[in-house]
C-alpha cells in the first residue's frame, strides 16, 4: 500500500510523500499531516513476538514510510535504537499491582520523547536527500525544559544537521538547565534568553516565517526545520511501542492471540495517545484508550462534553510535561472523526484560535467510544506513587502516576479488568523531589543530589547514565542573550557574516 499524507486543513486533493511531510513538519495552511488511509499490519502475532524492538520498529515504520527504501528505514532504526538506551529491549515492561507499565524512559534523557527524537534526525537526513535538498538542516527549538534536551540529544553529531535551542534563562528547573548546557556535539548550540518561554516561542516562530532570513540561510547552504511534536515523524515511531508491548505480552503468555487490551496514557499534547489510536487503526487489538490528564483537565472535559475550552486557569503541577491547555495533536483526531473533512477541521481550529473554544457534533462524539477520559488531582497523583510503592516496591514518576490513578478510576467505574498497558513516560529520577516527597513526606530540606541518592535507596534501581553524567559533565554552553538578539546568535553560530 502506498501511503501518502494530507493536511488536516487542506481541501486540495493532492497528497504528499512521507518524506516531504517529515521535512515540512507543519503544512503551509497550518494543518497537520495525516496518512490518507491507514495501512494494515498483517504480520502474524507469532512472528512479531519473536522480533527485537528494532525489528518491530522496521515492520511498523515501513507501512507508513512508503517513499523510504527498506534499507533506509533499517539504517534509521539501527542508528536510533542502539546503546543510547540503557537496556537491549529498549522498552521493558514491568508488572505491578494489576497493570503493565511500559517503560519508555530508557533513552538519553530518561523520558519518552527520546523514543521519537532518537530517530527523527535520521528520517530528516534521508528526507532532505529525497527532496533534493542539499542545504544543511538547522533545527530551531524554543523549550520550556524537556523537549529541548531530548531534541539536542537526538540531533547531536548527526551529519547534515545542526540544532539551536533557546530556553528562558530563569524559567527552567536547575536540573533541566544543567542537562541542556552540558550537551555535547559540535552541531549543538544552546542559548539562555532574558525572557519567558512565550517570548522565546514567539521569536522562534517569527524566525521560521521571516522570508529574508530564510533566503539568507539558503544562500549560505542552510534551511530551518522543526522537531516539534506535531511532526508526523515524531508520531509514527510512537506507534511502534504499542505494537511491541502487545507482542511482548503475548510472548510472555500474558494474553492470547487477538485478545484485546486497554492502554492508559498520561496526556499533554495528545501525541502519545494518538499514536496508540494509530496502533489500533492498523490492527493492534486495543480496546479502550484511556486518556489521563492532571489538574489541567481540558481533555477530560472535552471527552465528557464535546466542548473544548482553553479559557480557564492554568495550573503548574508536579507533572509539568502535561501542563498544557491546547493539545495540538487533537486536531488529527478531530479530522479523523469528522469524515476527514478539512474545511470543518479548519473551521473548528480557527474558532479555537479566535474564541479559545469549540464544540463538536453529536455525530463526532459518537465516534469517540474508543476513548475514556479522566484526571487526577495533585493529591491523587502523590497517593498513586505512595500506594504503588507500598504495595509492590515499584516506583513511578509523577506523569505515570497520573495515568495510574486514572486507570484505577476507570476500573472502578467500568468493572473492566482487561490486561492494561500504562505508558510510563519518565524515569522517577527525573522528578526525584516530587517522587521521594510522595513516598516519604516533606523533603524540602534536601538538595536535588541528596534526593536522587534517596531514590536509589528506595527503589533499588541503579541511577541511569543521564543522572550520573549530570553530576560531573562540564558546562559547554554559556551564551545568554536578549530576545531581539536571537537572530544574530543563530547567524553567528552558523558562521553567516553577510
Ligand atoms: C511530553 C510528555 C507527556 C505528554 O505526552 P503528549 O504526547 O504530549 O501527550 C507525558 N509525560 C512526559 C514525561 C512527557 O515528557
What's the mean per-residue pLDDT of the chain?
95
**pLDDT class for 143, splitting at 50, 70, 90?**
confident
Q: Which helix (H) or strand (E) holds 10?
A: none
Q: Cα separation of 111 and 105, whole Å?
A: 4
CA dist., res. 225 & res. 234, Å (int): 13
H helices of 367-480, in order, are 378-392, 398-414, 432-440, 448-459, 465-472
Probe target for ligand 1 pocket from 227, 237, 318, 322, with the most ligand atoms within 8 Å of CB: 322
CA distance 376 to 391: 20
Which of 497, 493, 495, 487 shows the shortest CA–CA distance to 204? 487
Residue 498 has pLDDT above 80, yes or no: no
Q: How far is the CA of 320 from the centre of ligand 1 (A)?
A: 9
- Ligand 1 centre and the CA of 440: distance in Å? 26
Residue bearing cell 489510536:
277
Cβ neighbours for 214, distance < 8 A, ≥ 6 positions apart: 223, 224
Segment 221-270, tens digit of pLDDT: 999 988 888 899 999 999 999 999 999 999 999 999 999 999 999 999 99
Q: How far apart are alpha carbons 47 and 66 in whole angstroms?
A: 22
Three-state DSSP at 3 gives: coil
Q: What is the pLDDT of residue 209?
A: 83
Task: Kindly give the distance from the C-alpha atom of residue 269 to the centroid of ligand 1, in angstroms, as a whole number.
Answer: 7
Q: Could you tell me the distance, in angstroms and rounded to a whole number, from the CA of residue 307 to the centre of ligand 1? A: 22
Q: Which of 104, 111, 147 maximizes ligand 1 atoms within 8 Å of its Cβ, making it the mutation to test the pocket?
A: 111
Confidence of residue 198 (pLDDT cuts 50, 70, 90): confident
Band of pLDDT at residue 8, cut at 50, 70 and 90: very high
Ligand 1 midpoint to CA 325 (Å) = 13
| Residue with CA at minimum distance from ligand 1 atom 4 | 268
CA 37 – CA 281 distance, rounded (Å): 10
Helices 211-219 and 486-494 cross at an angle (nearest 10°) of 10
Residue 103 · residue 92 · CB < 8 Å: yes
Kindly tell me if the per-residue pLDDT of 145 is higher than 80: no
- For ligand 1, the distance from its centroid to the CA atom of residue 322, given in whole angstroms, is 6
Q: How far apart are CA 458 and CA 480, in angstroms?
A: 38
- pTM recorded for the entire structure: 0.94
| 3-state DSSP assignment of residue 359 | strand
Q: Which atom of ligand 1 is nearest to the CA of 275?
A: 7
274 CA to centre of ligand 1 in angstroms = 12
Residue 63 has which C-alpha cell? 507501512
Exposed (0-12), middle (13-18) or buried (19+): which is 309, by Cβ within 10 Å?
middle
Residues in contact with ligand 1 (CB, 6 Å cut-off): 111-113, 146, 229, 266-272, 321-322, 399, 425-426
Report the C-alpha gap between 154 and 145 in whole angstroms: 15
Amino acid at each position: 500500500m502506498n501511503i501518502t499524507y494530507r493536511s488536516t486543513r487542506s481541501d486540495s486533493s493532492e497528497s504528499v510523500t512521507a518524506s516531504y511531510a517529515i521535512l515540512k513538519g507543519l503544512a503551509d495552511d497550518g494543518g497537520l499531516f495525516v496518512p490518507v488511509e491507514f495501512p494494515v499490519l498483517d504480520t502474524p502475532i507469532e512472528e512479531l513476538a519473536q522480533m527485537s524492538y528494532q525489528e518491530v520498529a522496521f515492520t511498523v515504520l515501513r507501512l507508513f514510510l512508503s517513499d523510504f527504501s527498506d534499507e533506509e528505514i533499517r539504517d534509521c532504526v539501527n542508528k536510533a535504537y542502539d546503546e543510547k538506551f540503557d537496556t537491549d529491549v529498549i522498552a521493558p515492561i514491568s508488572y505491578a499491582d494489576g497493570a503493565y507499565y511500559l517503560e519508555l524512559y530508557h533513552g538519553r534523557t530518561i523520558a519518552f520523547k527520546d523514543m521519537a527524537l532518537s530517530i527523527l534526525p535520521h528520517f530528516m537526513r534521508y528526507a532532505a536527500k529525497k527532496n533534493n535538498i542539499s542545504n544543511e538542516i538547522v533545527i530551531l527549538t524554543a523549550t520550556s525544559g524537556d523537549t529541548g534536551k531530548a531534541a539536542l540529544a537526538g540531533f547531536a553529531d548527526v551529519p547534515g544537521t545542526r540544532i539551536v535551542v533557546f530556553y528562558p534563562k530563569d524559567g527552567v528547573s536547575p536540573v533541566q538547565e544543567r542537562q541542556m548546557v552540558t550537551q555535547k556535539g559540535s552541531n549543538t548550540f544552546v542559548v539562555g534568553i532574558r525572557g519567558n518561554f512565550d517570548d522565546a516561542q514567539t521569536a522562534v516562530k517569527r524566525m521560521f516565517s521571516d522570508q529574508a532570513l530564510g533566503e539568507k540561510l539558503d544562500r549560505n547552504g542552510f534551511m530551518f526545520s522543526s522537531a516539534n511534536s506535531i511532526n508526523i515523524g515524531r508520531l509514527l515511531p510512537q506507534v511502534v511501542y504499542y505494537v511491541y508491548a502487545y507482542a511482548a505480552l503475548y510472548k510472555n503468555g500474558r494474553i492470547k492471540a487477538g485478545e484485546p487490551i486497554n492502554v492508559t496514557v498520561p496526556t499533554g499534547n495528545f501525541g502519545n495517545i494518538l499514536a496508540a489510536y494509530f496502533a489500533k487503526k492498523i490492527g493492534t487489538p486495543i480496546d479502550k484508550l484511556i486518556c489521563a490528564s492532571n489538574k489541567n483537565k481540558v481533555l477530560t472535559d472535552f471527552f465528557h462534553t464535546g466542548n473544548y475550552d482553553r479559557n480557564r486557569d492554568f495550573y503548574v503541577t508536579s507533572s509539568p510535561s502535561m501542563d498544557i491547555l491546547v493539545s495540538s495533536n487533537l486536531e488529527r483526531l478531530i479530522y479523523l472523526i469528522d469524515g476527514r473533512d478539512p474545511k470543518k477541521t479548519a473551521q473548528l481550529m480557527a474558532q479555537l484560535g479566535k474564541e479559545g473554544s469549540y464544540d463538536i457534533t453529536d455525530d463526532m462524539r459518537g465516534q469517540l467510544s474508543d476513548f475514556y477520559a479522566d484526571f487526577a488531582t495533585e493529591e491523587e497523583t502523590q497517593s498513586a506513587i505512595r500506594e504503588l510503592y507500598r504495595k509492590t516496591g515499584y516506583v513511578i514518576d509523577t506523569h505515570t502516576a497520573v495515568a495510574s490513578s486514572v486507570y484505577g478510576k476507570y476500573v472502578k467505574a467500568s468493572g473492566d479488568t482487561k490486561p492494561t498497558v500504562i505508558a510510563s513516560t519518565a524515569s522517577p529520577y527525573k522528578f526525584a523531589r516530587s517522587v521521594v516527597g510522595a513516598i516519604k513526606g516533606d523533603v524540602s530540606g534536601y538538595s536535588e543530589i541528596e534526593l536522587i541518592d534517596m531514590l536509589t535507596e528506595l527503589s533499588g534501581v541503579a541511577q541511569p547514565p543521564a543522572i550520573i553524567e549530570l553530576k560531573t559533565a562540564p558546562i559547554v554552553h554559556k551564551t545568554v542573550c536578549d530576545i531581539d538578539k536571537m537572530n544574530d546568535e543563530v547567524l553567528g553560530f552558523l558562521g553567516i557574516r553577510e
